[in-house]
C-alpha cells in the first residue's frame, strides 16, 4: 500500500471512531401539544410546561433537558410534589415517550412513566393481531354430551342469572367446626375465577406461581399498580368430583412467564371456565384459550397474542383480563377489549376454528358477555365503556349500541322480566340500564332523560363496580363494592330499599347468588351473609369461611360451592 493510501485509511478509521464515540444528537421536546386519552402535555420553548387531565390535578412548572433526560419542577400542582421529577425521553417521529429515572410525585409518575404521547388527531400505529389455532393432543372423536343435572355451565350459571331453586341450603356453616361442610379441597395457586359445573364434574382454573409467597391485595382502595410477580407460572384446569371433592384430573394448559401483567388485586386466572357438556374451555388471557374434553384430552387451543387491559386514562397501567368465555349453540364466544384493539370472537366449539370476529372501538373491559333467547330472537349483550352493545350471536353483527356507561366496566349483563339489565360502577356515571330486546341502532339517552322507546328505565350513580347484579323474583339487587345494597322493581325501576350491609370489611367483589328465597353475599374478608329475598331487608345469618373470598359461588343439587383464596368448599345440609 502506498504511503498516501495508508494515511487516507488511518484518517478514515480515526474519523469513524470519533463519530461512533460521540454522544447521540440532542433531541428536542416538541412545542406542539401532546395527548394520551384525556391527558394533555405542553412544553413551551421558554421552559415552562403544563400537564392536565380529566379527573386529575392540573400541574404546571418548568422543564430543562440534558441529553435525553428531562427534569420537571412543579410550581403549581398536588401536595408532596415539590421535588424534581427526572425522566428519559425519546422522540420518534411524532411520538414522544418517557421513562422514569426518579420522581416522588405519585400522580406525575403515574401519568408519565412508560408513557407514549402523540399530537392531537394522530393515531398510534396498530400492530396486526394474529390469531393462531393449534390442534390438540386428543385424536379420538369428541365424546357425546356428558349426562347429569344441576348444571352451572359458566360464570354465575345459565345466562349469568345466579339463582337456582330447590337447593334447601343451610343458613349456618363453619369450616372451623365442620358444620354443614360436606368437603373441602385445596386448590394450588391464585385465582379469582369462579367454579362451574356440568353433571357430576366441577371445574376451576388457577395460576400457580413459582414464587411460594405469591399473593394479591384485597380491599377498598384505588391504587392502579400491577403485581411485581412476573415469575414463571403454570396455568391449570382442575376437574373435581362435585360429590366428594376428589380431583379427577388436572391439566397444565400453559407454563412460562406471564405475557401480560395483573393488577395487585387480581390474579393471572380471573376468567371462569365454561362448558357445554362436551368440552370445557378456559381462557388465560395472553396465554391463550384451551378446550378439553371431559376426560382431560386437549381438543384445541387458540393463541390470541398479547392482550393488554388496564387503565382507561393511563394505558401504561396494565391490570390483566377477567372476562370469561361463554358457549352457545356450538360457539365459544369471548369478549376481548384491549388498549390497542378490541373485538368479539366466535370459535367453533369442536375445532377452535374462527367462525366470526367483530371489531369494536372500545376501551378495556372486564365483563363477561351474555346471550339470551328473547322474543325478538337471540341477542348477545356486552358491557363496555364506550357503549353497551347488542349483537346477533350467529353472525357477530351489531344490532344496537347505548352510550353513557362508566369508563371502567366489570359487571356482566343479565336478563329478567323481559329486560336486559346492564350496570357499571365507575363514577361519575355509575349507570343502571334496563333495555328492551329487539332494539336497533343508537339507543343513547338524550340529556335529562331516563327512558326512551328502547330503554324501559335507567339510573345514574347507582351501578355496581365489580359485582354483577342479581334479578330474583321480580326484584333487582345491586351490590356496591362498599356494601351498599340497592333493590328495585325490575319492571319499573322504582326503588324498594337501600341498605348498607352490616359487614363491609375489605369490600365486595364476588357477585350475589340466590336460592329458595335467600340471597348469599360474600365479602373479601371471607364473611358470607345470608339475606332474605323480598321487599324488606332482613339479615338472617353470617358465616365465616376463614379465607378471602373473591370468586362467585356455584349452586347445584343442594350444594353451594364456594371458592376461597386457597380452598374449594362444598356447603350443604349434613
Please check whether residue 415 is in contact with residue 472, taking contact to mean a CB–CB distance below 8 angstroms.
no
Residue 508 lies in a domain: yes
C-alpha cell at 43: 412544553
Same domain, 149 and 97: no
Count structural domains, the chain: 2
Radius of gyration of the chain (CA): 27
Residue 298 CA to residue 249 CA, distance in Å, equals 12
The verdict on 262 and 300 lying in the same domain is yes
Query: Is 427 contained in some domain?
Result: yes
**Together in a domain, 154 and 283:** yes
Q: What is the CATH number of the domain that holds 399?
A: 2.130.10.10
**C-alpha closest to that of 256 among 283, 215, 287, 277:** 287
What does the pLDDT read at residue 124? 84
C-alpha–C-alpha distance, residues 15 and 110, integer Å: 44
Residue finishing a domain among 117, 144, 162: 117
Closest CA to 315 of 27, 36, 18, 33: 36
CB 307 within 8 A of CB 295: no
Shared domain check, 181 and 103: no
Does the residue 289 lie in any domain?
Answer: yes
Is 1 within a domain? no
Written as tens digits, the pLDDT of the chain (574 aa) is 444 444 444 443 333 333 333 344 567 999 999 999 999 999 999 999 999 998 899 999 999 999 999 999 999 888 889 899 999 999 999 999 999 999 999 999 999 999 999 999 998 888 899 999 999 999 899 999 999 999 999 999 999 999 999 999 999 999 999 999 999 999 999 999 999 999 999 999 999 999 999 999 999 998 888 999 999 999 999 999 999 999 999 999 999 999 999 999 999 999 999 999 999 999 999 999 999 999 999 999 999 999 999 999 999 999 999 999 999 999 999 999 999 999 999 999 999 999 999 999 999 999 999 999 999 999 999 999 999 999 999 999 999 999 999 999 999 999 999 999 999 999 999 999 999 999 999 999 999 999 999 999 999 999 999 999 999 999 999 999 999 999 999 999 999 999 999 999 999 999 999 999 999 999 999 999 999 999 999 999 999 999 999 999 999 999 999 999 999 999 999 9
Residues 6 or more apart whose CB falls under 8 angstroms from that of 510 comprise 194, 467, 521, 522, 523, 524, 549, 550, 551, 552, 553
Residue that the C-alpha cell 343435572 belongs to: 149
Q: Which domain holds residue 292?
A: 132-571
How far does the chain reach from its first CA to its final CA, in angstroms? 100
Question: Which pLDDT belongs to residue 126?
Answer: 81
Is 28 inside a domain boundary? no
Domain identity same for 325 and 458: yes
- Residue 543: how many other CB atoms lie within 10 Å: 22
The pair phi, psi for residue 349, each rounded to 5°, is -65, -30
Cell of 205: 382454573
Tell whether 526 is covered by a domain: yes
Number of residues assigned to the chain: 574
CA distances from 424 to 294, 365, 459 (A): 35, 11, 11
CA distance 462 to 455: 16
Residue 319 lies in a domain: yes
* pLDDT value at residue 224: 86
Q: Are residues 167 and 112 in the same domain?
A: no
HSE-up of residue 487 (Cα within 13 Å, Cβ side): 20
Q: Check whether residue 158 and residue 282 sit in a common domain.
A: yes
d(CA 74, CA 183): 59
Angle, CA of 323, 459 and 271, to the nearest 5°: 10
| Contact (CB, 8 A) for 280 and 237 | yes
β-pair type (398-402, 441-442): parallel
- Residues 452, 454, 457: CA angle, nearest 5 degrees: 60
Do 75 and 167 belong to one domain?
no
Q: Are residues 177 and 205 in the same domain?
A: yes
What is the reported pLDDT for 26? Answer: 60
Residue 109 sits in the same domain as residue 171: no
> Looking at residue 192, what is its pLDDT?
98
Q: Name, in order, each residue with C-beta under 8 angstroms of 145's C-beta and a sequence gap of 6 or more.
A: 276, 277, 278
Contact 307, 287 (CB under 8 A): no
- pTM of the predicted model as reported, rounded to 2 decimal places: 0.92
Among 91, 117, 143, the domain-final residue is 117
Q: Quick one: cell of 369? A: 358477555
- pLDDT for position 78: 87
Same domain, 137 and 84: no
Q: What is the pLDDT of residue 223?
A: 83
Kindly state whether residues 104 and 137 are assigned to the same domain: no
Phi and psi, residue 407, nearest 5°: -80, -15
**127 assigned to some structural domain:** no
The CA distance from 495 to 488, in Å, is 4
Amino acid at each position: 500500500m502506498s504511503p498516501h493510501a495508508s494515511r487516507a485509511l488511518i484518517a478514515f478509521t480515526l474519523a469513524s471512531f470519533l463519530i461512533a464515540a460521540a454522544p447521540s444528537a440532542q433531541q428536542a421536546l416538541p412545542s406542539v401539544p401532546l395527548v394520551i386519552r384525556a391527558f394533555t402535555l405542553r412544553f413551551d420553548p421558554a421552559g415552562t410546561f403544563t400537564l392536565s387531565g380529566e379527573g386529575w390535578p392540573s400541574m404546571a412548572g418548568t422543564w430543562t433537558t440534558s441529553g435525553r433526560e428531562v427534569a420537571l419542577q412543579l410550581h403549581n400542582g398536588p401536595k408532596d410534589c415539590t421535588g424534581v421529577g427526572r425522566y428519559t425521553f425519546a422522540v420518534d417521529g411524532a411520538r414522544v415517550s418517557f421513562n422514569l429515572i426518579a420522581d416522588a410525585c405519585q400522580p406525575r409518575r403515574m401519568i408519565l412513566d412508560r408513557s407514549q404521547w402523540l399530537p392531537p388527531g394522530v393515531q398510534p400505529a396498530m400492530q396486526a393481531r394474529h390469531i393462531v389455532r393449534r390442534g390438540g393432543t386428543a385424536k379420538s372423536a369428541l365424546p357425546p354430551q356428558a349426562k347429569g343435572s344441576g348444571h352451572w355451565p359458566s360464570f354465575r350459571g345459565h345466562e349469568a342469572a345466579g339463582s337456582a331453586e330447590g337447593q334447601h341450603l343451610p343458613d349456618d356453616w363453619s369450616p372451623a367446626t365442620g358444620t354443614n361442610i360436606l368437603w373441602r379441597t385445596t386448590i394450588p395457586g391464585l385465582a379469582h375465577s369462579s367454579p362451574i359445573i356440568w353433571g357430576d364434574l366441577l371445574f376451576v382454573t388457577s395460576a400457580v406461581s413459582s414464587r411460594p409467597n405469591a399473593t394479591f391485595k384485597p380491599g377498598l382502595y384505588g391504587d392502579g399498580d400491577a403485581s411485581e410477580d412476573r415469575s414463571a407460572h403454570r396455568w391449570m384446569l382442575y376437574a373435581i368430583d362435585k360429590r366428594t371433592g376428589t380431583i379427577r384430573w388436572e391439566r397444565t394448559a400453559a407454563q412460562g412467564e406471564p405475557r401480560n401483567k395483573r393488577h395487585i388485586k387480581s390474579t393471572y386466572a380471573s376468567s371462569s371456565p365454561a362448558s357445554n357438556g362436551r368440552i370445557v374451555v378456559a381462557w388465560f388471557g395472553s396465554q391463550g384459550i384451551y378446550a378439553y374434553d371431559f376426560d382431560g384430552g386437549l381438543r384445541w387451543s387458540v393463541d390470541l397474542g398479547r392482550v393488554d387491559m388496564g387503565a382507561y386514562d393511563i394505558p401504561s397501567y396494565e391490570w390483566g383480563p377477567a372476562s370469561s368465555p361463554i358457549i352457545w349453540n356450538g360457539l365459544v364466544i369471548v369478549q376481548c377489549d384491549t388498549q390497542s384493539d378490541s373485538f368479539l370472537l366466535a370459535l367453533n366449539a369442536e375445532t377452535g376454528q374462527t367462525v366470526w370476529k367483530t371489531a369494536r372501538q372500545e376501551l378495556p373491559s372486564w365483563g363477561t358477555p351474555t346471550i339470551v333467547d328473547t322474543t325478538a330472537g337471540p341477542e348477545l349483550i356486552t358491557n363496555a365503556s364506550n357503549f353497551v352493545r347488542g349483537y346477533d350471536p350467529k353472525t357477530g353483527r351489531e344490532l344496537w349500541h347505548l352510550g353513557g356507561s362508566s369508563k371502567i366496566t366489570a359487571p356482566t349483563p343479565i336478563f329478567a322480566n323481559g329486560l336486559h339489565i346492564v350496570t357499571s360502577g365507575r363514577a361519575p356515571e355509575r349507570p343502571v340500564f334496563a333495555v328492551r330486546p329487539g332494539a336497533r341502532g343508537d339507543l343513547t339517552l338524550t340529556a335529562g332523560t331516563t327512558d326512551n322507546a328502547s330503554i324501559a328505565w335507567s339510573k345514574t350513580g347507582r351501578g355496581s363496580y365489580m359485582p354483577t347484579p342479581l334479578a330474583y323474583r321480580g326484584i333487582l339487587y345491586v351490590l356496591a363494592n362498599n356494601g351498599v345494597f340497592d333493590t328495585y322493581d325490575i319492571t319499573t325501576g322504582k326503588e324498594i330499599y337501600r341498605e348498607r350491609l352490616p359487614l363491609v370489611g375489605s369490600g365486595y367483589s364476588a357477585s350475589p347468588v340466590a336460592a329458595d328465597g335467600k340471597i348469599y353475599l360474600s365479602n373479601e374478608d371471607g364473611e358470607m351473609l345470608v339475606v332474605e329475598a323480598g321487599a324488606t331487608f332482613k339479615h338472617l345469618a353470617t358465616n365465616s369461611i376463614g379465607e378471602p373470598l373473591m370468586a362467585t359461588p356455584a349452586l347445584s343439587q343442594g350444594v353451594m360451592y364456594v371458592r376461597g383464596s386457597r380452598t374449594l368448599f362444598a356447603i350443604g345440609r349434613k
